[in-house]
């Protein structure tokens, strides 16, 4: 349907010189080798020849993701032929990477920790009918639909009056939203630890603050990354942003393994686990607030 409009846009690159042909051949061989090695490892794991430790693999993956991201950023800074302004902006992307990962490590527990809390420790009975726990997963989406127009209009309204917060401050609001959400869950976990079922309103208000946090940070992070990215590196910098998201998701899974309340001992410790998340996100938010001015200097003309 679109081939006539796109013409030759999007076609595979055609190697014309000997150097390009050699480079293309080397890339194909390297890609084939990597895919083959990974495939063999996967087969050996599922065959039981190589033992699988999911927790160890997840922890190692987190370290690998962080190393890849920062080594690449360092490479761009040192060998990317950038001027001082662009180098500073890449450093700013690295700082944003850390706080983005912290945010997503809390936010992305919606499908694990919070969903298990809804299933195990929430009173879901309405007039004799028990609401499926999975229905709580639609609360965030509903709030996004309701509040996205409001947030978009609010930023525009504030910008016209020269009151719009800068991007680091919006990140601060996002982290605070996640922290407040888990502070609410701390009190809900206290109810669950006492042996009672928590009211669904605890989860609903948690998702409300998490949604406000997401609307403050997620679209802003995407926009900020494209603006900070040096010319010719926009795609790579977006890849770094999504690496922060993947690292946050991975950390969320590791945290969920400790904070899901799967045993009596874990249930008793659940409030403390939630409070640890609260203190971590609040601490990250306050640190970002302290770094606001230095980060804005690194960002240069990007707001």
Residue found by looking up tokens 């293309």 in the block: 24
Rounded CA-CA distance 140/145 in Å is 9
The answer for residues whose C-beta is within 8 angstroms of residue 33's C-beta and 6 or more apart is none
Rounded CA-CA distance 173/179 in Å is 10
| Encoded tokens for 32 | 């084939």
53-64: pLDDT as tens digits: 766 777 778 888
The length of the chain, given as a count of residues: 303
The answer for residues whose C-beta is within 8 angstroms of residue 203's C-beta and 6 or more apart is 114, 117, 118, 122, 136, 139, 185, 188
Residue segments in the chain with a per-residue pLDDT below the cut of 70? 1-4, 6-16, 54-55, 259-263, 266
| Encoded tokens for 191 | 């109810």
Rounded CA-CA distance 216/207 in Å is 14
Rounded CA-CA distance 173/62 in Å is 25
50-94: pLDDT as tens digits: 777 766 777 778 888 888 888 888 988 888 788 888 888 889 989
Q: Give the predicted TM-score (pTM) of the model.
A: 0.82
pLDDT confidence of residue 245: 92
| Encoded tokens for 298 | 């690194």
């Amino acid at each position: 349907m679109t081939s006539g409009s796109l013409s030759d846009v999007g076609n595979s690159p055609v190697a014309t010189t000997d150097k390009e042909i050699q480079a293309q051949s080397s890339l194909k061989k390297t890609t084939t080798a990597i895919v083959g090695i990974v495939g063999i490892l996967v087969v050996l794991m599922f065959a039981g020849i190589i033992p699988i430790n999911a927790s160890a693999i997840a922890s190692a993956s987190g370290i690998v993701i962080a190393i890849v991201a920062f080594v690449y950023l360092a490479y761009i800074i040192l060998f990317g032929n950038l001027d001082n302004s662009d180098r500073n902006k890449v450093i700013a992307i690295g700082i944003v990477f850390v706080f983005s990962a912290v945010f997503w490590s809390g936010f992305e527990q919606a499908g694990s920790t919070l969903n298990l809390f809804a299933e195990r420790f929430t009173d879901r009975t309405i007039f004799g009918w028990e609401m499926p726990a999975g229905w709580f997963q639609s609360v965030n989406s509903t709030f996004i639909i309701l509040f996205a127009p409001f947030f978009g209009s609010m930023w525009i309204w504030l910008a016209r009056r020269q009151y719009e917060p800068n991007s680091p401050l919006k990140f601060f609001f996002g982290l605070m939203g996640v922290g407040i959400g888990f502070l609410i869950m701390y009190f809900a976990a206290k109810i669950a630890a006492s042996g009672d079922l928590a009211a669904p309103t605890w989860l609903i208000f948690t998702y409300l603050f998490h949604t406000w946090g997401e609307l403050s940070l997620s679209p802003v992070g995407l926009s900020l990354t494209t603006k900070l990215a040096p010319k010719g590196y926009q795609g790579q910098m977006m890849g770094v942003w999504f690496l922060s998201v993947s690292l946050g998701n991975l950390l969320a899974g590791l945290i969920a393994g400790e904070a899901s309340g799967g045993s009596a001992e874990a249930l008793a410790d659940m409030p403390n686990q939630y409070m640890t998340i609260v203190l971590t996100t609040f601490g990250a938010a306050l640190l970002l607030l302290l770094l606001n001015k230095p980060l804005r200097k690194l960002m240069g003309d990007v707001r």
